[in-house]
Structure 1
Amino acid sequence: MNPAAPADFHSLYPQLDATALTAYADALESGDLTGLPPARAAEAQVVRAAAVFTRGKVTGACGDLLDAALWRHTGPRPRAVVVMPSPWTGLGWAAYAVQGAAFAARGYDVLAYTVRGFGRSDGQADFAGPLDVADGRRALDHLLERAAGPVTRIGFLGVSYGAGISQLVAAHDPRVDAVAALSTWGDLGEVLRENSTRRCAAVQALLTAAGRARLSPETERALEDVLADRDGEATLRWAQQRSPFGQVKELNRRRVPVFLAHAWHETLFPANQTLRLFDELTGPKRLDLSIGDHGGPESAGLLGLPSPVWTDAHRWFDHHLRGAANGVDAEGEVLAEVMWTRALEPSAGWTDLTREVRRLYLTGGGGLAEEPEHGWTAGVLCGVDTPAAVADAIVRSGYAEMAGRPRTYRAGEIDSAVTATWVGAPAEETVRVRGIPRLRVTYRAANSGSTFVAYLLDLAPDGSARLITHAPFSDLPSPPDSLIGADIDLQATAYDVPRGHRLLLVAAGRDPFYGDANLPRATLAFTSPEPTPSYLEVPVG
């Protein structure tokens, strides 16, 4: 493993138990099951009876050696294989110790490898660039050369960083027959800048989570340029090459089956950019959307605990790589976990979640009404933190949500002298918010360059509130004292607003998760011109 990580290191996967995963891998190789929990020891016995587990090296691009683990069956019969590039963590391939073994027990040959620049792998992290794609293809070569019998079909599976790499390898290598991408990205440019707003907390989390990883100069420069607000066009060009969305035509040409899994309140890779990729895919596809944040819905499965996401990943490969008639052949199916009931709602496609769209107009009295109102102004003071923040901590807040402890906001603490707020009428029945809420507002910025963040909350009768969704917006080119129109897609959601609760819309000039284009103490004046009234569109299921 790597040397000790620096003091400011923060894992993107706080629930992963590196000690337990490494002990499991050791037991798979040595056969010494003492010290493993009984259930895990029994699983290890099954795996060892089915396949031979070894650790070694894969020769990647430029001759760099990549740390890897191989589950190989010795029988000559034909079988499918799975390649698993590691997440953005020094734990490397060991993150897949349990799941790789689970695939092996189902009859697959499996190769899990640590991506370049991390753990014991050589090279420098290329952030899913050409070297990572070449590594994935070399890893597949390595696996095929060691298969005891004919290989029938090939799958690539990854979590987070490994998910992005898996999609890109599939786009470039015609041998790949199916993909499972969990907590992935579709458009890396939108991960770095959302609605022209720098996603600084996400970028900083990637840099600190790299720990002792060796980032390529290009990768480090691209991430640091976002934090320093420089060379935006160059960064987006760098990101485009690393975006599965840019390779979707090739995935569609070959009709590669793609399974995507994502969390609603993703603070690292916001959901909408992955949904955009899902919409563009024309081959077999499936999407699971869950409560939580980056990597959270998958973490339980990585540790060997029950996980609907991993169950679906296994079923996806069983169907598309082995021909199993297991019900996942419905193309475009979406499975949405509802906040906070945790009900699982299947639908035939993403757009089928939304049955109707209700438009609520922003009013001068701070209301959300069915009819537009013009001539009012609501001010937002810039450069001031408010209680209406996205989350307490990137990634970690989502684990609290998964445990049934979503952040509670106190509406009375959101200062109306600093923010602009609009409140709807009490819901007469449960409002099933399903899809992408949209906001259309007009505001005047006294200075050139402006930013605001919009939050949609569920306001309870006792004054407490919970976040439904949000999105930032920045206008960079407009001259001072401009009237600016902002059309914003808030992040997708599946949220039940209970009877008697209200929708609360908040606009704030600053959130520590985002870069701020405002001048300190500047003001934004929101309004609603008659030709283009300001409104919120709520998708209802």
Structure 2
Amino acid sequence: MYPAAFSLHPELDATALAAFAAALESGDLAGLPPARAAEVEAVRDVAVFSRGKVAGTGGDLLDAALWRHTGPEPRPVVVMPASWTQLGWVLYAVQASVFAARGYDVLAYTARGFAASEGQVDAAGPLDVADGSRALDHLLERTAGPVTRVGILGHSYGSGIALLVAAHDSRVDAVAALSAWGDLGEVFYENSTTRASAVQALYAAAARARLSRRTERVLENVLAGRETGETLRWAEQRSPLSHVKELNRRHVPVFLSHAWHETLFPVNQTLETFNELTGPKRLDLSLGDHAGPEATGLLGLPNRIWTDAHRWFDHHLRDIGNGIADEGQVLAEVMWSRTLEPHPTWHALTRRTRRLHLTGGGELADLPEPGWTAGVVCGVDTPARVADALVRSGYAELAGRPKVYPTGDIDRAVAAVWASAPARETTRLRGTPRLRVTYRAANPGSSFVAYLLDLAPDGSARLVSHAPYSDLGSAPDSLISADLDLQATAYDVPPGHRVMLVVTGRDPFYGDANLPRATLAFTSPDPTPSYLDLPLA
């Protein structure tokens, strides 16, 4: 499904980053844009840059780069584990230089099994956690003066490693985890549904890496639908959510960033981790998809997320009163106005909930209506799908070109559709939409995907949120009540638009537990009525 050169960072210019890193080492600025050349000069004026190796766990050497000041002044340090990419530490060449120019000593390194680092990919397992501490040892041994405080920053794959290292290494004083994951089990399975495209993308992006046999077997098992229990136990150890208590015990300040329409690491599992944290914390939520909101910053362009990551470390590692501690725990970018809304906590986003009931006439109504049935034929693709291309679709959103859904082309024989009355004023959705729906499946094993859409008067729609659901244990012909959270959102539905709910039996993004041409019969009996809860500002 994915080419061997598939990247989780499609917009990054690897050549430009490599040229920047080469200029850091040689001082030759020829060919660099003026802004990048100025950054190289700025950091070389105050710090010494060198490439080298970190002695990782078991003697495996990890490819690394060091930005080091020679003066004896006390200073903070930052460790930066790299992403799930063959770019390795070069991904951070620009941003590490920014840290160094601001007075930090920095070590960026390539995770084991990728690019020029030895060993095999442990997928943020114990070896990667130990490697992070070894990298910190390496940096501390080479810092000329006293070290005041320690930060660790990771992007994508590196974000999980950063959180896990911070949980297990008491020397870490603050964390920044960008495009982070919290629960790896939910990255693989969402509401018991295999997130097949996400796992295929991880596999494809590691085509040139050296996966450990255990890591490879886990990815194969997820795609094959076997040994789920073993996979979840493996994932639990690698999930920051499982280690939140260690972070909370020391009140480690944690900065997280994420995208609303993230297809690789769904937003709710990161949100759950954020809500479990009890120390200083901040969550930045943006338009786009995995790694996209931070991409311009990696290339050295203005980027609010990277700016706030620097501010976070400046405040918690250098005691700079830059105001970030007073701006609220959550900064939410609203679709599609791109308005930035600060909130004191996550729960403050939602002021009230409006319940709309699913009816037999295809309406989302204020009152329940029992006794109807809406059949969905399984195994057929529809225009309603999560994304045309994992990760890449989110870059189109960032560019102001969100996917348009032609709702008139959705076959009502293979999808159940409900819509609200037109909104009289802007409907400000803020928080986590929730769906309860009752259905009957003739066969054991069933699944569906629910999409929440913003329906314009011309029949076109845009995706607000979605979620899959699978029931794998009910007896044939059982009446199943499915309760599920759709992915959290901050979305303004304009006046005259409708909220539309579409439910289908198949989306190529997910695994499919239905038998071919099976039918799901949705209904709303009195004891378990079907409804949609909308979170409102």
Matching residue within 4, 19, 24 for 1:23: 19
- Aligned residue number for residue 41 of structure 1: 37
| Structure 2 Cα separation of the partners of residues 390 and 451 of structure 1 | 15
How far apart are residue 463 of structure 1 and its match? 0.7
- Aligned residue number for residue 175 of structure 2: 179
Does the CA contact (< 8 Å) of 1:286 and 1:331 recur in 2?
no
- Aligned residue number for residue 3 of structure 1: none
How far apart are residue 7 of structure 1 and its match? 4.8
| Structure 1 Cα separation of the partners of residues 531 and 183 of structure 2 | 28
The residue identity in structure 2 corresponding to 1:210 is A
How far apart are residue 333 of structure 1 and its match? 1.1
C-alpha change, 1:331 and 1:234, in structure 2 (3 Å) is farther
Matching residue within 49, 52, 59 for 1:56: 52
The residue identity in structure 1 corresponding to 2:360 is G
1:324 corresponds to 2:320: yes
Q: TM-score, normalised by structure 1?
A: 0.98
Does the CA contact (< 8 Å) of 1:53 and 1:69 recur in 2?
yes
How far apart are residue 9 of structure 1 and its match? 2.5
C-alpha change, 1:277 and 1:331, in structure 2 (3 Å) is farther
How far apart are residue 8 of structure 1 and its match? 2.8
Matching residue within 496, 512, 516 for 2:512: 516
- Aligned residue number for residue 147 of structure 2: 151
Does the CA contact (< 8 Å) of 1:433 and 1:540 recur in 2?
yes
- Aligned residue number for residue 124 of structure 2: 128
1:205 corresponds to 2:201: yes
Does the CA contact (< 8 Å) of 1:79 and 1:152 recur in 2?
yes
- Aligned residue number for residue 330 of structure 2: 334
1:276 corresponds to 2:254: no
Aligned residues: 536
Post-superposition CA distance 1:262-306 (Å, at most 9, x none): 000000000000000011000000000000000000100000011
| Structure 2 Cα separation of the partners of residues 392 and 9 of structure 1 | 18
The residue identity in structure 2 corresponding to 1:533 is P
How far apart are residue 476 of structure 1 and its match? 0.1
Does the CA contact (< 8 Å) of 1:283 and 1:331 recur in 2?
no
| Structure 2 Cα separation of the partners of residues 185 and 250 of structure 1 | 17
Q: Partner of 2:324: helix, strand, or coil?
A: coil
Post-superposition CA distance 1:102-126 (Å, at most 9, x none): 0001100000000000000000000
Give the alignment's Cα RMSD to 1 decimal: 0.8
| Structure 1 Cα separation of the partners of residues 476 and 5 of structure 2 | 41
| Structure 2 Cα separation of the partners of residues 42 and 109 of structure 1 | 19
| Structure 2 Cα separation of the partners of residues 8 and 520 of structure 1 | 31
Matching residue within 300, 304, 308 for 1:304: 300
| Structure 1 Cα separation of the partners of residues 351 and 281 of structure 2 | 22
- Aligned residue number for residue 345 of structure 2: 349
Post-superposition CA distance 1:308-327 (Å, at most 9, x none): 11011000000000001011
The residue identity in structure 2 corresponding to 1:322 is R
Q: Partner of 1:22: helix, strand, or coil?
A: helix
Does the CA contact (< 8 Å) of 1:469 and 1:493 recur in 2?
yes
Post-superposition CA distance 1:156-199 (Å, at most 9, x none): 00001000000000000000000000001000000000000000
| Structure 2 Cα separation of the partners of residues 525 and 155 of structure 1 | 53
Structure 2 gap segments, 5+ residues each: none
Post-superposition CA distance 1:480-514 (Å, at most 9, x none): 00000000100000000000000110000000010
Runs of 4+ deviating beyond 4 Å: none
- Aligned residue number for residue 215 of structure 2: 219
- Aligned residue number for residue 500 of structure 1: 496
Q: Partner of 2:314: helix, strand, or coil?
A: helix
Q: Partner of 1:329: helix, strand, or coil?
A: helix
1:65 corresponds to 2:61: yes
The residue identity in structure 2 corresponding to 1:165 is I
How far apart are residue 211 of structure 1 and its match? 2.4
How far apart are residue 331 of structure 1 and its match? 8.3
Does the CA contact (< 8 Å) of 2:180 and 2:265 recur in 1?
yes
1:111 corresponds to 2:110: no
Q: Partner of 1:62: helix, strand, or coil?
A: helix
Matching residue within 60, 73, 76 for 1:77: 73
- Aligned residue number for residue 536 of structure 1: 532
The residue identity in structure 1 corresponding to 2:64 is A
Matching residue within 371, 380, 402 for 1:406: 402
| Structure 1 Cα separation of the partners of residues 330 and 3 of structure 2 | 40
Matching residue within 390, 393, 396 for 1:397: 393
The residue identity in structure 1 corresponding to 2:100 is A
| Structure 2 Cα separation of the partners of residues 237 and 332 of structure 1 | 35
- Aligned residue number for residue 440 of structure 2: 444
How far apart are residue 358 of structure 1 and its match? 0.3
The residue identity in structure 2 corresponding to 1:70 is L
Does the CA contact (< 8 Å) of 2:328 and 2:342 recur in 1?
no
How far apart are residue 532 of structure 1 and its match? 1.5
- Aligned residue number for residue 140 of structure 1: 136
| Structure 2 Cα separation of the partners of residues 261 and 513 of structure 1 | 23
Q: Partner of 1:507: helix, strand, or coil?
A: strand
Q: Partner of 1:185: helix, strand, or coil?
A: coil
How far apart are residue 417 of structure 1 and its match? 1.0
| Structure 2 Cα separation of the partners of residues 286 and 384 of structure 1 | 41
Does the CA contact (< 8 Å) of 2:465 and 2:489 recur in 1?
yes
1:100 corresponds to 2:83: no
| Structure 1 Cα separation of the partners of residues 528 and 479 of structure 2 | 12
Does the CA contact (< 8 Å) of 2:3 and 2:204 recur in 1?
no
Matching residue within 380, 400, 411 for 1:384: 380
| Structure 1 Cα separation of the partners of residues 514 and 54 of structure 2 | 49
The residue identity in structure 2 corresponding to 1:482 is S
| Structure 2 Cα separation of the partners of residues 434 and 512 of structure 1 | 28
- Aligned residue number for residue 86 of structure 2: 90
| Structure 2 Cα separation of the partners of residues 419 and 464 of structure 1 | 16
